[in-house]
Copies of this chain bind each other. A is one copy, B any other.
Amino acid sequence: MKILEDRIRRDGMVLPGDVLKIDSFLNQQMDVKLFTQLAEEFARRYDGEGINKVLTVEASGIGIACITALALGCNAIYAKKHPSHNRSKDAWSAPVHSYTHGVDYMMTVSKEFIEPGDRILLVDDFLATGSALVALAGIVRQAGAEVVGAGIVVEKAYQGGHDKLTGMGIRVESLARIKSMDAEKGAIEFCE
């Protein structure tokens, strides 16, 4: 999506350690007018799919998930992260390893919020190795609901998350797909 790629080129900073810093418009400052354009693009790509819920994970996915839910005319839900691996009988849960922070945590959603028959769009700000998205998809399937697809703002296409999700039979729509980044030159190359 050209406006997003242009914005990443303009405001993004490539830092050592394969970090793309775009917190001036995606997180922790959120340009909600841009979010509306991104959300309308997700809605266009998933038009006719009967999505009735948007699911994300706290915290940085919540803003784009809410505005995508507005564009789709449905509710948004966010999974919570817990430091422990305790499971609750009232919640669907899946363990996740965060490569960014080097920790394991448990992702949970109260059982009352996902039901068989739900057609769910997973939404997140970033897709890299895919561990958070795989856990979200696992939660939806535990609940007997359907993952219609994933809507991702920025994908690091070289980190394997996309293939992991499509390998699970999940359609992935990423609005910007980064092919490579060079911290020394500050260069970002997008996929065609």
Contact = CB atoms under 8 A, between A and B. Distances in A.
Interface of A: 23-25, 27-33, 35-36, 58-59, 62-63, 65-67, 69-70, 73-80, 109-110, 112-113
10 contacts: A24-B112, A25-B75, A27-B78, A28-B79, A30-B69, A31-B75, A32-B75, A58-B59, A59-B59, A63-B65
Contacts of A31: 75
Contacts of A78: 27-28, 30, 59, 63
A28 B109 CA distance: 8
Contacts of A28: 77-80, 109-110, 113
Contacts of A58: 58-59
A62 B58 CA distance: 9
B69 A66 contact: no
Most B-side CB within 10 Å, residue of A62, A70, A73: A62
Nearest to A80: B28
